[in-house]
Chains A and B, each alone.
Chain A
C-alpha cells in the first residue's frame, strides 16, 4: 500500500525547497510543492523565483580554458618529471650516507643518555649507591664526553635537515 503523502504547509515547503535546490529530493516533491503554492500565495512568489534561479544555475555553461593552457601545463609537467628523474638518479654524497646511517643510533644514544642523566639527577641516591657509583669524577667525565659527542651528532643532523629544507624551498621557488 502506498504511503499517504503528508500535507504540505509553509514550513514543510521551505524544507522541501532546500531539498529541491540541492537536488537531493524524492520523486513527487516538486509536484507536492506546486500543489501547495497553488493554494498559498505567500509561498508562490518565493518558490517560483527560486525555481527560476535553479533553472538558470543548471543552465550555466562551462567556459573554455584559455589559449596556451595545455602547452603551459605540459611544460610544467615535463619540468616536474625532469626534477623527479634527477632526484631519483642522483647518487648520495658521503656526507648524506653518513648522516643517514648515524642518525638513528645517535638519536637512540642521546635518548638513553638523557634518560640516564635524568634518573641520576632526579634520584641521586639510587644511582650513587653507597656514596660511590656515577657521582665519581671519572664517571661524570665519561658521561659528559658521551653527551658532547651525542650533542655534536645531533647538531650535525639538524644542520643537514635544515640544509635539505632550504634546498627544497629554493627548488620550489625556482619552479614557480
Chain B
C-alpha cells in the first residue's frame, strides 16, 4: 500500500485518484479535530471540506522532507479552525456529540467516555487541541508543536494544564 507521502506526490503530479485515497484516509481525523475544536457539527463539516480543498489546491507545496503528510494536512485544518473561530462564528452553539449519545446503546463505560468528551469540550482551545492531537490523533509532541506553531515545552505545559483543569472540574 502506498504511503501518504507517495500519494501526495502522485496527486501533485495530477493523479486525481491519489488525492481521493488521501481524502478517504484522513477525512474522519480532520472532521473529528474540527468537530472537537469548534464544537459544532455543521461548522466542522464546512471547515473539514475547506481544509481538503485547500490541500488539493496546494498539494504541490507539500515537501515530504519537512514532515509527514498527515501533519501538513492537520496544520491546514488547525489554521482553518482558528480562523473560523476567531473571525466569524464565536456564537456557534456547542452540540456535545448529542447524536452519539442517542445512537449508542447503553454499554459499560459509555457514561465515563461521554463525561470525558464533555470534559475535553469544556477546556479552552489552548489546552484542548494539544490533548486531542496527541491522544486522539496519535501525534507526537514534536509533530503537535509543528502543527500548532508552539514550542515542545509549551505543548507539554498545555497538555498538563488541560489535565489539571479536568481534574479540578471532576473534584468540583
Identify the A interface with B (CB < 8 A): 17-19, 21-24, 46, 49-50, 53-54, 56-66, 69-70, 72-73, 76-77, 80
Contact = CB atoms under 8 A, between A and B. Distances in A.
Contacts of A23: 134-135, 140-141
B53 interface: yes
Interface residues of B, number: 41
A13 to B, nearest CB: 12
A30 to B, nearest CB: 15
A169 to B, nearest CB: 15
A73 B34 CA distance: 15
A21 B155 CA distance: 11
B34 to A, nearest CB: 11
Interface string B56-98: 1100000000000000000000000000000000000000010
A80 B141 contact: no
Interface string B138-172: 00110000000000100111011001101100100
B56 A65 contact: no
A21 B166 CA distance: 13
A65 B27 contact: yes
Contacts of B15: none
B113 A59 contact: yes
- What's the dominant secondary structure at chain B's contact region? helix
Given A53-B166, A62-B136, A73-B23, 17 more contacts: A18-B157, A22-B134, A24-B152, A49-B167, A56-B113, A57-B116, A57-B136, A59-B116, A60-B113, A60-B120, A63-B31, A65-B28, A65-B31, A65-B45, A70-B27, A76-B53, A77-B56
Given A23-B134, A23-B141, A73-B23, A56 B167 contact: no
B120 A63 contact: no
A77 B31 contact: no
A62 B97 CA distance: 11
Nearest to A19: B156
Nearest to B137: A62
B135 A58 contact: yes
Nearest to A57: B135
